[in-house]
Amino acid sequence: MIPGAPFFHRRAGELWIENLPLEAVAAQYGTPCYVYSRAALEAAYAVFESALRGHTHLVCYAVKANSNLAILNLFARLGSGFDIVSGGELARVIAAGGRADRIVFSGVGKSETEIRAALVAGIMCFNIESEPELERINLIAGTLGVKAPVSIRVNPDVDARTHAHISTGKKENKFGIPLDRVIPSYQRAAALPHIAIAGIDCHIGSQVTDPAPLYDSMDRILALTDELRALGIPLKHISNGGSIGIRYKDETPMDIGAYLKGLIAKIGNRELELLLEPGRSLVGNAGVLLSRIEYLKQADAKRFAVIDAAMNDLARPAMYDAWHEIVAVRQRDEQRLAYEIVGPVCESTDKFGQDRQLAVHQGDLLAILSAGAYGMAMASNYNSRPRPAEVLVDGASSHLIRSRETLSDLFAHEKTITSRA
Ligand SMILES: *Cc1c(COP(=O)(O)O)cnc(C)c1O
């Protein structure tokens, strides 16, 4: 078993995903290529459902972590709701067969067009991130003759103790409404004719491995629900966001079941539906980025493995200094050497790891683990590189769920202008 990637394992020195060797996946679909395990996705989802059973709840998968239609469809069939942050994600969820009435819409910059589309679709609620957004949604709902269901996303001023780039719940962050403005915002919402108050929401950041700050934020928003009830503003649901960290290297992730049971215990006998918005914890360890070594290169005292995947395919190391485990798909009975693993993009940050001990030859396959979340979703075409294929493995079968982009896809939306003559 590979730590952090339970649906990947070795058979006779070869790395397999479920009942397929990754060699076979690479031979069929080429590299670089994202490969996901259906069983891993379903197992991750089941952890939430089994812990939450018995309490009214909705798991709203955070689409931005991995928005492939096949993955959205898989979660939709398991009964999942969705946390979206754009009109594009709304369109994806609907196209994937997700139910609009299980969608919550977060994000600080919802445009008029996005708000209108969400109201027409009939989403479960908007997570309001500012007072002007509340006013805008009220106006648009009025023109459509509907009431917009809303939650206020609270900025609880809790330190998630994660990477600064993925921390969202401190008062200096752009997200949510500050604690001291929450009650007046609900009072304003209650007075608006085209707003229906539904719940309260909070999301303090990502890759949080210690439940303490998450319990802290839950305590703060629960106290607000009590205060609101006393003011005659009862809420139907409470969302403590996503945030649950996974194992990339040697982190000890929280016990998700215990954490969720802890949230239910905090709710106690209040009549509140519990919402969660997990992204990374549902998909992160269900996928790898499969890549082939183009060259082994020696410069000074350093050895480089130049692979065919780059920062445009998986941005996390370049963007957040994130650590991903990198393993050889075929184990060789040779001495391991220290390599810096780099991609072909013309940036010094195009680096997946350094000082990685590997016994590899040119042409060998490497698997970059824990790449299921914020991997393909953040991929770009930088350096005019077509984005990779995505494959979903189910037992011994594989399904191409996104074809590799072609060269003509790269400039399909571009035009030259006519000459001035
Ligand atoms: C990104 C995001 C999530 C998901 O976060 P994870 O750490 O991947 O679980 C949930 N809610 C909101 C509002 C988000 O922006």
Q: Which domains does the chain have, with CATH numbers?
A: 8-37+284-410 (2.40.37.10), 106-278 (3.20.20.10)
Using a cut of 0.85, tell me whether the model's pTM lies above it: yes
- What is the whole-number distance in angstroms between the Cα of residue 402 and the centre of ligand 1? 23
d(CA 302, CA 160) in angstroms, rounded, equals: 37
Q: Which of 48, 83, 281 to mutate to test the pocket of ligand 1 (most atoms within 8 A of CB)?
A: 83
pLDDT score for 161: 76
Length reported for the chain: 421
Residue 357 main-chain phi, psi, to 5 deg: -85, 115
Ligand 1 pocket, residues with Cβ under 6 angstroms? 62, 64-65, 83, 85, 106, 203, 206, 241-244, 277-281
Tokens coding 413: 């939306």
Give the nearest ligand 1 atom to 282 CA. 9
Instruction: Give dist(CA 63, CA 403) in Å, integer.
Output: 20
pLDDT at 248: 96
| Per-residue pLDDT in tens (0 to 9) along the chain, 421 residues | 566 677 999 999 999 999 999 999 999 999 999 999 999 999 999 999 999 999 999 999 999 999 999 999 999 999 999 999 999 999 999 999 999 999 999 999 999 999 999 999 999 999 999 999 999 999 999 999 999 999 999 999 888 877 777 777 788 888 999 999 999 999 999 999 999 999 999 999 999 999 999 999 999 999 999 999 999 999 999 999 999 999 999 999 999 999 999 999 999 999 999 999 999 999 999 999 999 999 999 988 899 999 999 999 999 999 999 999 999 999 999 999 999 999 999 999 999 999 999 999 999 999 999 999 999 999 999 999 999 999 999 999 999 999 999 999 999 999 999 888 7
* Predicted pLDDT of residue 168: 77
CA distance 316 to 367: 15
Helices (H), 86-211: 87-95, 112-121, 131-144, 179-191
Tell which atom from ligand 1 comes closest to the C-alpha of 373.
8
Residue 86's pLDDT is what? 98
Angstrom distance (rounded) from CA 81 to CA 72: 10
The catalytic residue positions are 346
- In ligand 1, which atom is closest to the CA atom of 281? 9
What spacing in Å lies between the alpha carbon of 230 and ligand 1's midpoint?
A: 30
Q: How far is the CA of 181 from the centre of ligand 1 (A)?
A: 23
* Other residues' Cβ atoms within 10 Å of the Cβ of residue 44: 24
Q: Give residue 265 CA to ligand 1 midpoint distance, Å.
A: 23
Question: How many other CB atoms are there within 10 angstroms of residue 188's CB atom?
Answer: 15
Atom of ligand 1 nearest to the CA of 127: 13
pLDDT of residue 315: 98
